[in-house]
Amino acid sequence: MTKIVVIGNGMVGYKFCEKLVAKNSNRDFEITVFGEEPWPAYDRVHLSAYFSGSTADDLIMAPRSWYAENQIDLHTNEMIVKIDRDQKKVISHTGHDYDYDKLILATGSGAFVPPIRGVDKKGVFVYRTLEDLDAIIDYAKNAKRAAVIGGGLLGLEAAKAVIDMGLEAHVIEFAPRLMPRQLDEAGSNTLQSKLEDLGISIHLQKNTQNITGNGRINGLKFTDDTELPVDMLIISAGIKPRDELAKDCGLDTALRGGIIVNEFLQTKDENIFAIGEAASYQNMIYGLVAPGYEMATQVVNQLANAEVKPFMGFDMSTKLKLIGVDVGSFGDPFGEVEPFKPIVYENKNSGIYKRINVSLDGKRLLGGILVGDASAYNMLWQMTQNKMPLPPEPEDLILGARGGKEAVGAGVESLPEEAQICSCENVTKGSISNLIKNDGVTKVDEIKSCTKAGTGCGGCMPMVNDLLKHQLKAMGKTVKNVICEHFDYSRQELLDLVKVKKIKTYNELLDQFGQGDGCETCKPAVASILASTWNELITHQDTIQDTNDRYLANIQKGGTYSVVPRIPGGEITPEKLIVIGEVAKKYGLYTKITGGQRIDMFGARVDQLPDIWEELINAGFESGHAYGKSLRTIKSCVGSTWCRYGVQDSVSFAIQVEERYRGLRSPHKLKGAVSGCIRECAEAQSKDFGIIATEKGWNLYICGNGGSKPQHAQLLINDVDTETCLKFIDRFLMFYIRTAEPLTRTATWLNKLEGGLDYVRDVVVNDSLGIGEELEKEMEFMINTYACEWKEVVNTPHLRAKFKHFVNADEEDPSLKFQEMRGQKIPASWG
């Protein structure tokens, strides 16, 4: 058995273990790992998530039990202080020594602290480990203003953390621009104004001379004699490889730091490898995880006698995350490697700057910079990496094709086989395609578990999905929209079956038309079909509902629920407002005005839900169905009753519409809005159906969407009276409910519908299929059979009894934990 000792249990050290374990089925290796930190390896890349609620546990790459299960001897809190190469031993600070056959140095790096006078004062921190963050959070409690030294990737992340802690944030950068290694001046300017909008002050070309204060920092003094008073400082000016152990035992280290390795990650001692941020290859250290993972893989392959490719350096393209501003920089962003032609698009108004560098012959993309909108990052980066041919007018890449066409789709199909799809796990397009072609893989989850693609940062998942679809199609597999392994039918087919065969329960449908025992995909889909067809109370088949529908409330972090009573049109009397306030106070709920013009009360325990609703219902409220794939809200603007411009009474109409369709179950949620005039204060054109008042009546728009892919609603018909407007909405909604796939919003439905808007208009307005009346009838049935689900639960003892945490104890869930924020409770955080 070969004894492997790994020094450093960081991201790369962990990845090394994970990869080696996969090759250790014969128990060829005995693995011992040392980490000086108290935790097992955690996700440093997402360290900043700690400020927005993640806990140390959330960030852990694998629990201790994983190491135990895989026979890895993990020593945390234990630092190796010496390597004895002659005896092949390492010695830890506890005085113990451990033998090795092969030694892996994965010691990572520490923060680089520039030699500024006063860095030892209280209130000066670095930003690297969980312990650093704990100290920062603790100190920030008594601070108001904080500065970050370093305007690079990490510094900006730290600045965001400062803001998240509620402090005034300043970024100090020595260079004349932000992210000097990734951005040019124009890109930096755009980013700067975006950051300033977020409340971060940027100080460029500032060289910090000393840190002032008596024992405790109270400000910074710069070489230009200016000063900046601050209560705390985070230094994030770069990294310094932890090469001291290696140096001590006579291994070579690079001038700028880092343990020197060859293309096989070997140090000059054939039994010692260095990987991750600690390694220096061709005078370069790689401060990113992806190259570190690549190194780990190479070393594992060597140890396991698998095929070894030399490490050839790594692309350093990056995307800034977390800060709320899109920034990407890829390939050769400055055009330093070969002559090029830049193409630049800048929109100061919306804060977008894009630049691509095209080779002189116009055939290849060399690199580029994206600020404000980095949605094209993945594709552009792929084009650069794979030297893919450019479209005839390369500017289309950053401007989108003009003339109403789709943006030029360098889709996954155009990528070469060797294109790297997942950079964290180095998975190529070819290996995914082969899996689909040769191993009969048809699901994304299978691709994830076979290749690990998408399990790191997850940024490649859209591409993996596209690739799967594309590959299946190329193989002539009609990607039939069957719901899941339990039903070989589409939603529409199931809906027809339910109707024709008068099926009322999930089990009946499964017995007659399905196989197996169902799953979390088909159960809610069928539940929705049954509800849209028979409109029976969903509480009767509660275990086929998604958790929100099962408990008639939205589940929140920690396992409590939120309560949203219906407030039609957003109109509410002071009396009812008081009731909401009182209920929230009584049950200690966090309250917030939602984006849907109503009030959400968060943090109710499952056993409290019926009591809370009882009080609300007694005060005249009813369920707001915030939990259902059903009608949510109809937003309104104040309209002609008060507004000097209003031409119709939008509030009254919104209330009428909301009460008409309340509780209506559909393939996805439905939202509407009514604006009182063309100024559109209710944002009706972003809704599934939006109504805008005109002098003569109403304009009806359909299939708008907010969300991650916003889309404007399109005009179905103009200047109709109230009755006609409702008639068309009835028909439109019923037609959608009948024909859409599960979890498809109206916008997506329309986009996929052959014939598009014209076809919908034909069906709904011109009644080309002759089903208009039938659709209206169906809707009428829904409206007439509506009942508030919560009312039923509150009044039915056996339904009420389902709302408890333990069935064998009258206790609350002891694992619920809360903390406080601005005077209200919030759940103890996760990731």
Partner 1 sequence: MISELEKYRTADSSKVTNWYKAATVDSFPEDGGACIKYKDLQIAIFNFSRRNEWYACQNLCPHKMQMILSRGMIGSYEGDPKVACPFHKKTFSLKSGKNLNGDTCDIATYPIKVEDGFVYVGFED
Footprint on this chain of partner 1 (rule: CB under 8 A): 55, 57-58, 60, 62-66, 445, 448-449, 452, 455, 485-486, 507, 516-520, 522-524, 542-544, 546-547, 550-551, 555, 557-559, 802, 805-809, 811, 813, 815, 830-831
CB-based contacts of 642, cutoff 8 Å, min separation 6: none
Say which entry of ligand FAD, partner 1, ligand SRM, none residue 12 contacts (CB below 5 to 8 A, set by partner kind): ligand FAD
Give the 3-state secondary structure of residue 799: helix
Report the residue number, 524 or 772, with the smaller CB distance to partner 1. 524
Report the residue number, 152 or 704, with the smaller CB distance to ligand FAD. 152
By CB under 6 A, which span of 114-122, 306-314, 478-486, 625-633 interacts with ligand SRM? 625-633
Residue 279 CB, nearest distance to ligand FAD (Å)?
Answer: 8
- How many Å apart are CA 331 and CA 547, to the nearest integer? 45
Residue 53 CB, nearest distance to ligand SRM (Å)?
Answer: 15
Tokens at residue 363, please? 């055939």
The helix (H) or strand (E) run that includes residue 602 is strand 599-604
Classify residue 375 by its DSSP letter: T
Report the residue number, 394 or 596, with the smaller CB distance to ligand SRM. 596
If we measure between CA atoms, which residue out of 448, 445, 436, 443 comes closest to residue 474?
Answer: 436
Q: Is the dihedral of CA 500, 506, 512, 518 positive or negative?
A: positive
776 class by beta-carbon count within 10 Å (0-12 exposed, 13-18 middle, 19+ buried): middle
Looking at 243-290, which runs of residues are DSSP E strands?
Answer: 259-261, 272-274, 279-281, 284-285
Among 321, 745, 761, 800, binds ligand SRM (CB under 6 A): 745
Contact set with ligand FAD (CB under 6 A): 7-13, 34-37, 44-45, 47-48, 79-80, 106-109, 127-128, 154, 157, 242, 245, 276-278, 287-290, 292, 321
Say which entry of partner 1, ligand FAD, ligand SRM, none residue 543 contacts (CB below 5 to 8 A, set by partner kind): partner 1
Q: Is 566 among the residues that bind ligand SRM (CB under 6 A)?
A: no
Classify residue 514 by its DSSP letter: B
Say which entry of partner 1, ligand SRM, ligand FAD, none residue 288 contacts (CB below 5 to 8 A, set by partner kind): ligand FAD
Q: Is 462 among the residues that bind ligand SRM (CB under 6 A)?
A: no
- Our CA angle for 773, 774, 776, nearest 5°, is 65
Contact by Cβ (8 Å): 330, 381? yes
Residue 104 CB, nearest distance to ligand FAD (Å)?
Answer: 10
Residue 607 CB, nearest distance to ligand SRM (Å)?
Answer: 18
Report the residue number, 290 or 716, with the smaller CB distance to ligand FAD. 290
Say which entry of ligand SRM, ligand FAD, partner 1, none residue 45 contacts (CB below 5 to 8 A, set by partner kind): ligand FAD
Report the residue number, 544 or 626, with the smaller CB distance to ligand SRM. 626
Say which entry of ligand FAD, partner 1, ligand SRM, none residue 216 contacts (CB below 5 to 8 A, set by partner kind): none
Say which entry of partner 1, ligand SRM, ligand FAD, none residue 544 contacts (CB below 5 to 8 A, set by partner kind): partner 1
Residue 788 CB, nearest distance to partner 1 (Å)?
Answer: 22
| CB burial readout 181-214, b (16+ within 10 A) else e | ebbbebbbbbbbebbeeeebbbbbebebbebbbe
Say which entry of ligand FAD, ligand SRM, partner 1, none residue 707 contacts (CB below 5 to 8 A, set by partner kind): ligand SRM
Report the residue number, 186 or 816, with the smaller CB distance to ligand SRM. 816
Residue 161 CB, nearest distance to ligand FAD (Å)?
Answer: 9
Q: Is 243 among the residues that bind ligand SRM (CB under 6 A)?
A: no
Q: Is 626 among the residues that bind ligand SRM (CB under 6 A)?
A: yes
Classify residue 544 by its DSSP letter: G
- How many Å apart are CA 16 and CA 294, to the nearest integer? 10
Tokens at residue 531, please? 């509800």
If we measure between CA atoms, which residue out of 748, 747, 740 comes closest to residue 666?
Answer: 740
Residue 278 CB, nearest distance to ligand FAD (Å)?
Answer: 6
Q: Which residue is nearest to ligand FAD, using beta carbons?
A: 10
- The 637-676 contact track toward ligand SRM, x by CB under 6 A, reads --------------------------------x-x-----
Give the 3-state secondary structure of residue 689: strand
- How many Å apart are CA 823 and CA 522, to the nearest integer? 42
Q: Which residue has the tokens 């350096």?
A: 313
Tokens at residue 494, please? 């199931």
How many angstroms separate the most distant Cα atoms in the chain? 93
Looking at 48-194, which runs of residues are DSSP E strands?
Answer: 72-75, 80-84, 89-92, 97-99, 102-105, 109-111, 124-126, 145-149, 168-172
- Our CA angle for 69, 73, 75, nearest 5°, is 125
Report the residue number, 697 or 827, with the smaller CB distance to ligand SRM. 827
Say which entry of ligand FAD, partner 1, ligand SRM, none residue 830 contacts (CB below 5 to 8 A, set by partner kind): partner 1
Among 632, 660, 665, 738, binds ligand SRM (CB under 6 A): 632
Q: Is 545 among the residues that bind ligand SRM (CB under 6 A)?
A: no
Angle of helix 722-739 relative to helix 756-764, nearest 10 degrees, comes to 120
CB-based contacts of 142, cutoff 8 Å, min separation 6: 231
Residue 276 CB, nearest distance to partner 1 (Å)?
Answer: 21
Tokens at residue 35, please? 């980490």
Say which entry of partner 1, ligand SRM, ligand FAD, none residue 60 contacts (CB below 5 to 8 A, set by partner kind): partner 1
Q: Is 822 among the residues that bind ligand SRM (CB under 6 A)?
A: no
Q: Is 707 among the residues that bind ligand SRM (CB under 6 A)?
A: yes
Residue 70 CB, nearest distance to ligand SRM (Å)?
Answer: 34
Residue 678, CA distances (Å) to 648, 682, 691, 692, 694 in order: 11, 10, 10, 7, 7
Residue 679 CB, nearest distance to ligand SRM (Å)?
Answer: 17
Q: Is 554 among the residues that bind ligand SRM (CB under 6 A)?
A: yes
Give the 3-state secondary structure of residue 573: coil
Q: Which residue has the tokens 């996700």?
A: 43
Determine the size of the site formed for ligand SRM (CB under 6 A): 20
Say which entry of ligand FAD, partner 1, ligand SRM, none residue 277 contacts (CB below 5 to 8 A, set by partner kind): ligand FAD
Among 65, 214, 305, 708, binds ligand SRM (CB under 6 A): 708
Report the residue number, 313 or 755, with the smaller CB distance to ligand FAD. 313
**Within 10-152, where are the H helices?**
11-22, 56-59, 64-69, 130-140
Report the residue number, 278 or 412, with the smaller CB distance to ligand FAD. 278
Tokens at residue 304, please? 């396991």
Report the residue number, 769 or 801, with the smaller CB distance to partner 1. 801
Say which entry of ligand SRM, partner 1, ligand FAD, none residue 13 contacts (CB below 5 to 8 A, set by partner kind): ligand FAD
List residues bridging with 371 in a β-sheet. Answer: 327, 353
Say which entry of partner 1, ligand FAD, ligand SRM, none residue 287 contacts (CB below 5 to 8 A, set by partner kind): ligand FAD
Residue 632 CB, nearest distance to ligand SRM (Å)?
Answer: 5
Residue 671 CB, nearest distance to ligand SRM (Å)?
Answer: 5
Distance, C-alpha 415 to centroid of its chain: 25
Q: Would you put residue 114 in left (φ > 0), alpha (ψ -120 to 50) or beta? A: beta
By CB under 6 A, which span of 110-118, 157-165, 414-422, 589-597 interacts with ligand SRM? 589-597
- How many Å apart are CA 386 and CA 363, to the nearest integer? 12
Q: Is the dihedral of CA 265, 268, 269, 270 positive or negative?
A: positive
- Our CA angle for 637, 640, 644, nearest 5°, is 100
Residues within the interface to ligand SRM (CB under 6 A): 554, 556, 562, 564, 592, 594-596, 598, 600, 626, 632-633, 669, 671, 705-708, 745
